Amino acid sequence: MRTWLLAAGLLVISGVASAQTPLSDRLKSIQSDPAALKSALDAGRKASSFCANCHGEEGVSKSVEIPNLAGQNPAFLLEQIRKFASGERKDAFMQGLIKILKDEERLQIALYYAGMSVPPSRADAAQAAKGKELFGKLCVRCHGDQARGNAEIPRIAGQKLSYLQTTLMRYRDGTGIRNYQLMAIATGSLKNEDITAIANFLTQLP
C-alpha cells in the first residue's frame, strides 16, 4: 500500500513539474526536434497573422516606428512577449493582444519570426562610419560584432533607422518606456547626432 502511494505521489509530482516546465525549456525542446520545429513554424505563421498588420507577414515591419521581428533570437522574443503580458514593458495595444495568446502560440510565434531573414536598410555612409566607431566602444561587448545579440540581448542589426533612434533616446532620457540600467549607462553620454550615427550603422547591417 505504501509503495503504491509513493508511486502515485511521484507521478503527481512529476505531472506538476511537467506542467510547470518554463517556456524557455519547452523552446529548447522544440528546437532540438526537427519535426516539432517544422510543426511549430507552420503553426507560428498562422498564429502570427494578427501581428502581420504591424510587424509584417515575415517579421519585416511596415512602419519605421515599429521594430522588425525577423531574425530575432527566439528566446529573446519569448521573453519580450512575457514582459508585455505582465506589464513590465508598457504598450497598451501590445499588452491587449498578447494576453489572448496561449503559451504554445507564444512559442510558435517566437520561433516563426526568428526563422525569417531581415534585409538591411539603406544608410548614410558617413554616418554609418562614425556609428561603427561608437558601436565598437559602447555596444559591441553585449550585442556582438555583428549586432545580432543572443538569448538575453536583442539583435539590432538591420533594425529600422527611426525605431533605433527612438529607442536609444528613450533609454538615454529615462522616459520610463524602456528601462534597463546598462542601456541607460551606455547611452547616457550620447548626443543626438551620436545616436543618429549608431542607428545608421546598425540599420545597414545584414
pTM for this entry: 0.84
Is 54 annotated as contributing to ligand binding?
yes
What are the residues whose beta carbons fall under 8 Å from the beta carbon of 41, sequence distance 6 or more?
A: 108, 111, 112, 115
Query: Please, are residues 166 and 156 in contact by the beta-carbon 8 Å criterion?
Result: no
Residue 195 near residue 152, CB atoms below 8 Å:
no
pLDDT, tens digit (0-9, with 9 covering 90-100), for 165-179? 999 999 999 987 787
169 is in an annotated binding site: no
Q: Which CATH superfamily is domain 125-203 in?
A: Cytochrome c-like domain (1.10.760.10)
How far is Cα of residue 196 from the mean position of the Cα atoms in its chain?
22
Which CATH superfamily groups domain 22-114? Cytochrome c-like domain (1.10.760.10)
* Residue-level pLDDT at 90: 82
CA–CA gap between residue 204 and residue 108 (Å, rounded): 28
Q: Vertex 61, ends 58 and 66: CA angle to 5°? A: 140
Per-residue pLDDT of the chain (206 residues; tens, 9 = 90+): 443 333 334 333 333 333 445 889 999 999 999 999 999 999 999 999 989 999 999 999 989 999 999 999 999 999 999 999 998 888 888 988 899 999 999 999 999 999 999 999 999 999 999 999 999 999 999 999 999 999 999 999 999 999 999 999 999 999 877 878 999 999 999 999 999 999 999 999 99
Which backbone phi and psi does 148 adopt, to 5 degrees?
-100, 0
143 labeled binding residue: yes
User: What is the phi/psi pair of residue 123, to 5°?
Assistant: -145, 165
Whether the CB-CB separation of 78 and 106 falls below 8 Å is answered with yes
Nearest to 132 by CA among 173, 184, 143: 143
Q: What is the dihedral of CA 53, 93, 159, 193, to 10 degrees?
A: 130
Range list for CATH 1.10.760.10 in the chain = 22-114, 125-203
C-alpha cell at 169: 533616446
Sequence-ordered strand ranges (E) for the chain = none
